[in-house]
Amino acid sequence: MIDYKSLIASKINCPLPQADLVNLITETADDSFGDYSFPCFRLAKEMRMSPVAIAQKIAGEVVLDDVVVKVQPVNGYVNFFVDRVGAIKEVLSDVQSAGCHYGESNVGNGKTICIDYSSVNICKSFHIGHLSTTAIGSALYKLYTALGYKVVGINHLGDYGTQFGKMIVAFKLWGDRTTAEREGVKELQRLYVKFHQEEVEHPELTDQAREWFVRIEKGDAEAQELFEFFKQITLAEVKEIYKRLNVTFDSWNGESFFNDKMDKPLQMLKDKGLVTESQGAQVVDLSDHKMPPCLLVKSDGSSLYATRDIAAAVWRKQEYDFDKCLYVVAYQQNLHFKQFFKVLELADLPWAKDLVHVAYGMVSLEDGAMSTRKGNVVLLKDVIDKAVEKSMEIISSKNPDLPNKQTVAEQVGVGAVLFSALENAKIKDITFTFDRVLNFDGETAPYLQYTHARCNSILEKATNRGNADYNALDDIETMRLAKLIRQFPQAVVDSANKYEPSILSALLIDIAQAFNKFYIEHRVLTDDLGATSARLQVVEATEIVLKKGLSLLGIQAPEKM
């Protein structure tokens, strides 16, 4: 690929070093002012001239060639125009030669990234609060994989805690296996809610729950068996959803996996003099770092969420020797991650700096937030089902004769739901509305899928092709589209490095919009076979990039819609 910025920098005669020039050159926001722009303001002092005069001087000295074809000084900027057809041809050939691997690279070869994401809780429903971690984590998984990293996807199951003692008591009193197997997590939730209601009048239930919890911890056969039963019921449902979302994991080691792996790290922290006693509990004091203490062992001897996360981090480092370990978890847990990262840092573990909390904002539905205790949760499954159902309605009215309507509706509905968690900077709180995420003309997954399908249908209709006449592509719409496609590989890198799939989502929307403008302005299939063939290459490149981009976000691209 031509490195335009370096090439242009080499043509600028001024006292700044080449590297600085490259950094100062930007792509112009308004392409009527050229393709690249160099601001002269920083040079004014050194050259003892006004920026306007400097721009004129530099522009006058530029030697043009067949790549940089025009230069223009404008108000302290030097604007450069590159050869359009050459630039467009280059992008097309890059995409053609990479094909479905466009955007991939090997920058990550030899490096390992652990991604802790989705991390659902046993006996709790898979609700919309877990959508973002699932969608963002899975997209990061695919992005890093495309960049050549070895990626380990971890579902750090919430499968430990006193709530499982409560579940056993509730199940033994009011539940039965047949109902639980038939109704699934909904039934487990019903029992859990009932426990909390009954507990108010019958405090002895609390003691029984505590006893059952101790029995789980001690490995008592009956307790273990019941816990496994709850776990299987939950996982069966959750895996059904992962399958629909096209989300996978390499490890399901959750909190309970670390039951027997906490002593060593605890001892290590003690040996380093970090652990102090506070009201019978063992803590790491973090007051020097302006945080409340990190609680490691309660006065009754039981461990905590942080203890398990510390043990998990140590274990993952040993097991995978990661270069980075990401935790895709809501910002509500900011303090938890800051605390346990700090504890590991204070323990002088050099890799503590490689732990990253990838925080994201809350998703709510129009009718307000939700809470598990009260039982009024919004299930992710219900959201997906409704999105698929609505997609079906839209598709049926737009294209009643489409074959495999149900499959396409599933791909569109699921895509719309996933994209809603990937389209904005992840830290933003978002409100999910069906009408918005399913708007085929909006900034949505269905819009991308629809544009992709439109590309396919054009390609399908193309029967006659001649030798491409690239000069037919010498227009602003094609150039804009080509420039955006050119940004794709860098957007993949940036999305991964900044843990921000929305960089890629935004580019895909721009590409789809630019394609649709191109398509409105220029007839693709005409009698001019040279022009037709050249434009078909533009359509093909767009098709490849949209499909690849969607797949990196975990979204399918139906051939027809």
Q: List residues near ligand ARG by CB under 6 A.
A: 116, 119, 121, 156, 158, 309, 312, 327, 329
Nearer to ligand ARG, 156 or 390 (CB): 156
**Smallest gap, in angstroms, from Cβ of residue 158 to ligand ARG?**
4
Sheet strand arrangement including 150-154: 150-154, 112-116, 324-330, 355-360
Beta bridge partners of 303: 297
Contacts of 114 (CB under 8 A, 6+ apart): 151, 152, 154, 316, 320, 322, 324, 325, 326
Nearer to ligand ARG, 149 or 327 (CB): 327
Are 411 and 392 in contact, with CB atoms under 8 Å apart? Answer: no
> Which amino acid type is present at position 143?
L
**Smallest gap, in angstroms, from Cβ of residue 214 to ligand ARG?**
22
Residue 496: exposed, middle, or buried by beta-carbon count in 10 A (0-12, 13-18, 19+)?
buried
* CA–CA gap between residue 161 and residue 228 (Å, rounded): 14
Nearer to ligand ARG, 329 or 346 (CB): 329
* CA–CA gap between residue 427 and residue 416 (Å, rounded): 19
Nearer to ligand ARG, 116 or 510 (CB): 116
Q: What per-residue string of b and e applies to 295-313 under the rule 16 or more CB within 10 Å gives b?
A: bbbeeeeebbebbbbbbbb
- Count CA atoms closer than 13 A to 472's CA, side-chain side: 23
**Smallest gap, in angstroms, from Cβ of residue 336 to ligand ARG?**
7
Which one, of 248, 150, 246, 147, lies nearest residue 488 by Cα? 147
**Smallest gap, in angstroms, from Cβ of residue 118 to ligand ARG?**
8
**Smallest gap, in angstroms, from Cβ of residue 29 to ligand ARG?**
40
Nearer to ligand ARG, 158 or 489 (CB): 158
**Smallest gap, in angstroms, from Cβ of residue 560 to ligand ARG?**
38
Nearer to ligand ARG, 155 or 537 (CB): 155
Nearer to ligand ARG, 156 or 548 (CB): 156
Nearer to ligand ARG, 102 or 337 (CB): 337
3-state secondary structure labels for all residues of 254-277: CHHHHCCCCHHHHHHHHHCCCEEE
**Count of C-beta atoms within a 10 Å radius of residue 246:** 16
**Smallest gap, in angstroms, from Cβ of residue 120 to ligand ARG?**
7
**Smallest gap, in angstroms, from Cβ of residue 115 to ligand ARG?**
11
> Which amino acid type is present at position 404?
N
